[in-house]
A and B are shown apart, each in its own frame.
Chain A
Amino acid sequence: MANLTPELESERKRIVEYARNEGLDFFETIFEIITYDQINQFAAFGGFPVRYPHWRFGMEYDHLSKSYEYGLSKIYEMVINNDPCYAYLMEGNAMMDQKLVMAHVFGHSDFFKNNIWFSKTNRKMMDEMANHATRIRRYIDRHGYDQVEKFIDRVLSLENLIDRHSVYSTPSEKSGSPSADGNVMLRYSKEYMRDFINPPSFVEEQKKKMRELLQKKQKFPAEPEKDILKFLLHFAPLEDWQQDVLSIIRDEAYYFAPQGMTKTMNEGWASYWHTKLMTTKILNDSEVVDYADHHSGTVATSPQSYNPYKVGIELFREIEDRWNKGQFGREWEECDDVREKQKWNKNLGLGRQKIFEVRKIYNDVTFIDEFLTEDFCVRNRFFVYKFNKRTNQFELDTRDFKAIKAKLLFHMTNFGQPIIRVEDGNFENRGELLLSHLWEGIDLQPDFMSETLKNVFHIWSRPVNILTVMDQDKMLFRFDGKEYTSNKI
């Protein structure tokens, strides 16, 4: 399968060995050399060689190939979460670049294999994507291109409405069906113990809980549902092929979700390892300058954007350093002598162990929440910017640590997407759908909202409503197939 030149192949072997010796534990990783046009194509397909037909891949390809042709950007590295892991090298790149990419890719491959948020992803996605493509092509043959594409467009409009954490949580309805007057008493063996084990107040409380539970059961869905695609899949009046298309798009969304949830960590981890391997093992003297040039490009910062490579690698290094020196735990937290803290070094050497642990169990939200310190923010010159309505431009707002952290976490929670849930599938007892937006200070973009609501309508095929806050008023927006209306509540 692999078509590496003998020279690249021997480099690959070397790098695998170095990476293994450092403790990286990755899937078998297959490298292929492909042309820039292929790389653009694969990248447009999200890294895969085959996807179902859809214009948005064409759009992605259009953007990638234009920016490549005009020398604005090029893709160095691409790797797919799959077992075996597939990675691509661009034909004609310099040897140093290829080595760097390989070192970087082993970092990703290790992360895919070990990070817990990836544990539920399909490791045979390469085949699965091809199957999806075949299925959708079959529907196209049967129902016509336009028809299928139209449906895909509508579902894609709701693609972000999944519950990113649902695959990790265990089903909560383990208990049997509750009944209002059922026995709620705990077991007691001796009659005289009855009132001690089940005091009347406790019994009353349990009964009340049961009644509430029963009421909930009558609601549909019982609990607000974050996985709106799943809800539609089960309850919307769809034809078989539509159901399948919806489930395909939902599956793919879930497959890609962890990559969004761990972008900073994943890139940081891979960058950490390419740096480590390149500078200590792989580089030869003549390549150092080219390497430095390339690496600095990867981790460059810009005032307008957040660079996950940079933040990730710096945080991993910081963690390693802190745990090596024993800068953690209660003693460290409680110490407020700055000078003491500066020269704090207990020579514990726990750094390496700690970063491997971090890469296993954290995601971006917990990573930033736990390890982003005020000191780190100052050193890396972070700030928050916001839009100033008066001057009509974006301005630097503050360098306050709390604000920075809050903003970062906000952007990472739910992958920067608003949280929307199905509240009621039988709204007003008329089979209408009621969605609600968990408003957290930021309004939804109104024009997109109305268009999306229309798409929901076409799938639900009954009037749809969404509860949100707009310009500080609680609003209910509704689309009934003909009219889009809004009502203040």
Chain B
Amino acid sequence: MSIKEDHNRFKDIVKGKIKEDFKKYVSHGEMIGKREKDFVKIPLPQIDIPNFRYGPKQSGGVGQGDGQPGDAMGGDPSQGQPGDQPGEHLLEAEISIEELADLLGEKLSLPRIMPKGVKQVDTTKTKYSGLAPVGPEGLRHFRSSYKKALKRYLSSGIYNPDEPMIVPIRKDFQYRTFKTVSKPMTKAVVIYMMDVSGSMGDEQKEIVRLESFWINAWLKKHYKGLETRFLIHDASAKEVDEDTFFRTSESGGTLISSAYKLCQKMIEEEYPVNEWNIYPFHFSDGDNWSGEDTRLCVRLLKEFFLPYCNVFCYGQVESKYGSGQFLKDLQKEFPGDERIILSQIESRDRILDSIKDFLGKGK
């Protein structure tokens, strides 16, 4: 069908895959829709071909209804129909972030992650299993509607076996309805650790921020209810919230082991390894205080992280001051070990490759 061609072409333009000069014409509108019981915002990308047109704000228009001069119209009439959505719970539809994740997956051809561990926690899902007398036409259940009509015919005695025509009336129609069912599901936690010592500049942190956003998007696609924790460290480590994680800048020295120890403690106390999928990510510029501390880190990795975590990821961002020694040390220590992934991120342009390094193994 030729519309699919046009549709794909449109989607590719919106994604910026082709016709990059069109980016400036793409706007990301949204409309309010209903999905099951929730109101969702549906992303509605649009490409506006430029033409000679009037500026919208000067022109105004004609409407119908009550009101006094000076009354606000509520919303921007030029932006299409404001709709009649009630103000209750409005969900930011996950579809947009999911679409992003799909995009990433598609772009990097990432494999699906195979979760490990005991299936423990329940997740709710909607299943179309029931029947109801009302519903959208698309969900009409033919067989049971027919049966009901047939029953009505039989019981009211108008059924004629010689001419077995059944004409359903409104009351006969049956529609599929959904039920919320619980399903067991795996749990996952991502623990981000970052070196915030003086040598990590703003650019380095921005790189970490961008990268962790995409990693989150991808993991969230596979683990509903993904937990994220944030640790920062210089010579000592502490847990912070997401916001602080990306803002803090300390000037002290660097003891990587401090973060690893805190992370180990956190896992041991809160995330029993047989139930949880655990993803520690560590970002630094590769400077560590001493060889001795590096040896301690290696020991922690060997004894704790590698056996118990899905995968341990270390990303090294390039900075003017860092020696980048830590990455070399790890490479020497764990050659070809599948349980640890090492990636070097020289600049923003390398972020995608680095994500592929981390997630490309499907762990």
Q: Which A residues lie at the B interface, using CB under 8 A?
A: 36, 41, 44-45, 50-51, 53-59, 61-63, 66-67, 70-72, 92-94, 146, 153, 156-161, 286, 301-307, 310, 380-387, 389, 391, 393-399, 404, 407-408, 411, 416-418, 420, 437, 442-449, 451-452, 455
A444-B53 contact given A53-B6, A385-B60, CB 8 Å threshold: yes
Interface pairs (29), CB distance under 8 Å: A44-B6, A55-B6, A56-B10, A56-B47, A57-B3, A58-B3, A61-B3, A61-B6, A62-B11, A67-B33, A70-B33, A70-B42, A71-B136, A157-B49, A157-B51, A301-B63, A302-B65, A381-B65, A383-B67, A385-B77, A387-B57, A397-B69, A399-B69, A411-B62, A442-B55, A443-B54, A445-B53, A448-B50, A449-B52
A160-B52 contact given A385-B77, A407-B62, CB 8 Å threshold: yes
B106 interfacial by beta-carbon distance below 8 Å: no
Instruction: Report B-chain residues with C-beta under 8 Å of the C-beta of A389.
Output: 57
B2 interfacial by beta-carbon distance below 8 Å: yes
A67 to B29, CA, bound (A): 13
Determine how close the nearest CB of chain A comes to the CB of B3; give it in whole angstroms: 4
Instruction: Report B-chain residues with C-beta under 8 Å of the C-beta of A53.
Output: 2, 5-6, 9
Determine how close the nearest CB of chain A comes to the CB of B45; give it in whole angstroms: 8
A395 and B71 contact, CB distance less than 8 A: yes
Instruction: Report B-chain residues with C-beta under 8 Å of the C-beta of A71.
Output: 33-34, 136
Instruction: Report A-chain residues with C-beta under 8 Å of the C-beta of B47.
Output: 55-56, 59
Instruction: Report A-chain residues with C-beta under 8 Å of the C-beta of B2.
Output: 50-51, 53
A382 and B64 contact, CB distance less than 8 A: yes
A396 and B67 contact, CB distance less than 8 A: yes
A226 to B68, CA, bound (A): 40
Instruction: Report B-chain residues with C-beta under 8 Å of the C-beta of A444.
Output: 52-55
- Closest residue of chain B to A38, judged by CB? B1
Main secondary structure of the interface of A (DSSP, over half): mixed
Instruction: Report B-chain residues with C-beta under 8 Å of the C-beta of A393.
Output: 72-73, 76
Instruction: Report B-chain residues with C-beta under 8 Å of the C-beta of A304.
Output: 63, 73-75, 77, 81-82
Instruction: Report A-chain residues with C-beta under 8 Å of the C-beta of B54.
Output: 416, 418, 442-445
Instruction: Report A-chain residues with C-beta under 8 Å of the C-beta of B74.
Output: 303-304
User: When the two chains form the complex, which single residue of A51, A62, A306 contacts B64, counting CB atoms closer than 8 Å?
Assistant: A306
A129 to B318, CA, bound (A): 58
A305-B63 contact given A58-B3, A445-B54, CB 8 Å threshold: yes
User: When the two chains form the complex, which single residue of B61, B65, B73 contacts A411, counting CB atoms closer than 8 Å?
Assistant: B61
B3 and A45 contact, CB distance less than 8 A: yes
User: When the two chains form the complex, which single residue of B13, B25, B34, B52 contacts A420, counting CB atoms closer than 8 Å?
Assistant: B52
A448 and B77 contact, CB distance less than 8 A: no
A303 and B63 contact, CB distance less than 8 A: yes
Extra contacts, 19 of them, besides A58-B6, A304-B74, A304-B82 (Cβ < 8 A), are A56-B49, A59-B10, A70-B34, A70-B42, A158-B51, A160-B53, A302-B64, A304-B77, A383-B64, A386-B60, A393-B72, A393-B76, A394-B77, A398-B69, A407-B61, A407-B62, A445-B54, A451-B24, A452-B51
- Closest residue of chain A to B65, judged by CB? A303
- Closest residue of chain A to B48, judged by CB? A448
A55-B60 contact given A92-B137, A303-B67, A448-B52, CB 8 Å threshold: no
Instruction: Report B-chain residues with C-beta under 8 Å of the C-beta of A446.
Output: 55
- Closest residue of chain A to B7, judged by CB? A58
A160 and B44 contact, CB distance less than 8 A: no
B56 interfacial by beta-carbon distance below 8 Å: yes
- Fill in one digit per residue for B1-35: 1 if any A CB lies within 8 Å of its CB, else 0: 11101111111010000010000110000011111
The number of chain B residues touching the other chain, given as a range, is: 35 or more
B11 and A58 contact, CB distance less than 8 A: yes
A404 and B62 contact, CB distance less than 8 A: yes
B130 interfacial by beta-carbon distance below 8 Å: no
Q: Which of B331-357 contact A (CB under 8 A)?
A: none
Instruction: Report B-chain residues with C-beta under 8 Å of the C-beta of A306.
Output: 61-64
B53 and A93 contact, CB distance less than 8 A: no
A442 and B58 contact, CB distance less than 8 A: yes
Q: Which B residues lie at the A interface, using CB under 8 A?
A: 1-3, 5-11, 13, 19, 24-25, 31-35, 40, 42, 44-77, 81-83, 136-138, 140, 169-170
A454 to B5, CA, bound (A): 28
A312 to B62, CA, bound (A): 14
A59 and B55 contact, CB distance less than 8 A: no
Determine how close the nearest CB of chain A comes to the CB of B186; give it in whole angstroms: 30
User: When the two chains form the complex, which single residue of B24, B49, B76, B81 contacts A153, counting CB atoms closer than 8 Å?
Assistant: B49
B51 and A448 contact, CB distance less than 8 A: yes
Most-contacted residue by chain A among B19, B54, B65, B170 (CB, 10 A): B54
- Closest residue of chain A to B59, judged by CB? A442
Determine how close the nearest CB of chain A comes to the CB of B135; give it in whole angstroms: 11
Determine how close the nearest CB of chain B comes to the CB of A130; give it in whole angstroms: 11
Instruction: Report B-chain residues with C-beta under 8 Å of the C-beta of A399.
Output: 69
A305-B46 contact given A396-B71, A397-B69, A407-B62, CB 8 Å threshold: no
A51 to B58, CA, bound (A): 35
B52 and A59 contact, CB distance less than 8 A: no
B61 and A62 contact, CB distance less than 8 A: no
A188 to B3, CA, bound (A): 69
A415 to B172, CA, bound (A): 47
Instruction: Report B-chain residues with C-beta under 8 Å of the C-beta of A418.
Output: 52-54
Instruction: Report A-chain residues with C-beta under 8 Å of the C-beta of B67.
Output: 303, 383, 396
B138 and A445 contact, CB distance less than 8 A: no
A417 to B53, CA, bound (A): 6
Instruction: Please give me the 6 A-B residue pairs with the lowest Cβ-Cβ distance, nearest first.
Output: A70-B33, A58-B6, A58-B10, A386-B60, A451-B50, A58-B7
- Closest residue of chain B to A418, judged by CB? B52
A384 and B72 contact, CB distance less than 8 A: no
Instruction: Report B-chain residues with C-beta under 8 Å of the C-beta of A63.
Output: 44, 46
A63 to B3, CA, bound (A): 13
Instruction: Report A-chain residues with C-beta under 8 Å of the C-beta of B46.
Output: 59, 63
- Closest residue of chain A to B21, judged by CB? A150
Instruction: Report A-chain residues with C-beta under 8 Å of the C-beta of B73.
Output: 303-304, 385, 393-396
Determine how close the nearest CB of chain B comes to the CB of A452; give it in whole angstroms: 5
Instruction: Report B-chain residues with C-beta under 8 Å of the C-beta of A57.
Output: 3, 6
Determine how close the nearest CB of chain B comes to the CB of A466; give it in whole angstroms: 8
A399 to B50, CA, bound (A): 34
Determine how close the nearest CB of chain A comes to the CB of B5; give it in whole angstroms: 6
A143 to B32, CA, bound (A): 42
- Closest residue of chain B to A452, judged by CB? B50
Instruction: Report B-chain residues with C-beta under 8 Å of the C-beta of A404.
Output: 62
Determine how close the nearest CB of chain B comes to the CB of A470; give it in whole angstroms: 10
A16 to B263, CA, bound (A): 78
Determine how close the nearest CB of chain B comes to the CB of A408; give it in whole angstroms: 5
A93-B137 contact given A307-B64, A381-B66, A420-B52, CB 8 Å threshold: yes
A61 and B82 contact, CB distance less than 8 A: no
Determine how close the nearest CB of chain A comes to the CB of B325; give it in whole angstroms: 48
Determine how close the nearest CB of chain A comes to the CB of B214; give it in whole angstroms: 25
A385 and B49 contact, CB distance less than 8 A: no
A420 to B52, CA, bound (A): 8
Determine how close the nearest CB of chain B comes to the CB of A486; give it in whole angstroms: 15
Instruction: Report B-chain residues with C-beta under 8 Å of the C-beta of A36.
Output: 138
Determine how close the nearest CB of chain A comes to the CB of B136; give it in whole angstroms: 7
Instruction: Report B-chain residues with C-beta under 8 Å of the C-beta of A411.
Output: 59, 61-62
Determine how close the nearest CB of chain A comes to the CB of B17; give it in whole angstroms: 12
A67-B10 contact given A157-B50, A451-B50, CB 8 Å threshold: no
Instruction: Report B-chain residues with C-beta under 8 Å of the C-beta of A56.
Output: 6, 10, 47, 49
Instruction: Report B-chain residues with C-beta under 8 Å of the C-beta of A302.
Output: 63-65, 81
Instruction: Report A-chain residues with C-beta under 8 Å of the C-beta of B70.
Output: 395-396
A66 to B34, CA, bound (A): 11
